[in-house]
Structure 1
């Protein structure tokens, strides 16, 4: 098995959620670690994948919203500072993959499946192999204890319950 590192300057772990039932708020986590081991990244079924996100690194382009997300109303970063994912099964799905694993937010663990697309492989200008992947899943935030919301006078709620998690990764062999 080969160990792979995430090139964080060419990777993103982000999310989007409905805002006021009419638009989307997007954000990302700037600080995370990943452990990826695989016999061959062109066959992702040979891999084990583990991620740990620093929740305090959340960024939505609005400091007040970021601070609210870090508060006890949402992630409660004082008590629950990490979000983790550990793969349990990786299956081929045509040219793509289904990566199923355990996602833990606020000490609540649920099994989720990411739809993963292999973006390809290449050699960077320094002669290092790089592999690209895009992954996406949708979760119900309320199932993870993220239940804060506010009713709108016009009907509906301020924050949607469905969260799309989007991951774009560039992997390099570990040094």
Structure 2
């Protein structure tokens, strides 16, 4: 039985975990058309591994996201974002995140998009711990220009608010 816990005082049991991609998601919010219209969408997590260690600072994680899974519900926009003008998913099929440091409230690491790597910190806003799994919700904001994705400067949103809801299962 899962229960909501304070992430500052409770951690999952030690060991290796895999991300259950069927129960995990990445959602985003941005604005387009001169910042007037909201855009919501998703990315699919392809795979991920987490090592929970003692002390917690020695924990690590790696997540791979399918860049071509960009989805907003607008087929024309989605195809445009997947094109060479933006994400160029034919040449750059993966978006990756690898942690550098982990504590009870933050995971910091390197996000790589279109072969450009930048530091990113994820704020852990909620967690649930069960005997053989745990779920974490974390948020961050990224600026697409930091990754060289600069097309349509006025029409497409510059910043993306990302929310990751990830369920991890003990191996």
TM normalised by structure 2 equals: 0.83
The CA deviation at 1:46 is 4.2
> Among 113, 129, 136, which residue is 1:133 paired with?
136
Question: 1:1-175 alignment to 2 at 5 Å?
Answer: 2-20=15-33, 21-39=35-53, 45-92=57-104, 97-122=105-130, 129-149=132-152, 157-174=154-171
After the TM superposition, list the runs of 4 or more consecutive aligned residues in structure 1 that deviate by more than 6 angstroms.
none
Which ranges in structure 2 are unaligned for 5 or more consecutive residues?
1-13
TM normalised by structure 1 equals: 0.82
The CA deviation at 1:44 is 5.1
Give the length in aligned residue pairs.
157
Residues 53 and 59 of structure 2 are in contact (CA less than 8 Å); yes or no, is this contact kept in structure 1? yes
Q: CA RMSD for the aligned pairs?
A: 1.8
In the alignment, the residues of structure 2 paired with residue 53 and residue 163 of structure 1 have an alpha-carbon distance, to the nearest angstrom, of 15
Q: Deviations over 1:66-115 (max 9, x none)?
A: 111110110011211111110001134xxxx1111011111111011110
Which ranges in structure 1 are unaligned for 5 or more consecutive residues?
124-128, 151-156
Residues 169, 31 of structure 1: CA spacing in aligned structure 2 closer, same or farther, 3 A cutoff?
A: closer
In the alignment, the residues of structure 1 paired with residue 48 and residue 98 of structure 2 have an alpha-carbon distance, to the nearest angstrom, of 10
Deviates more, 1:74-83 or 1:29-38: 29-38
The CA deviation at 1:122 is 2.7
In the alignment, the residues of structure 2 paired with residue 44 and residue 170 of structure 1 have an alpha-carbon distance, to the nearest angstrom, of 18
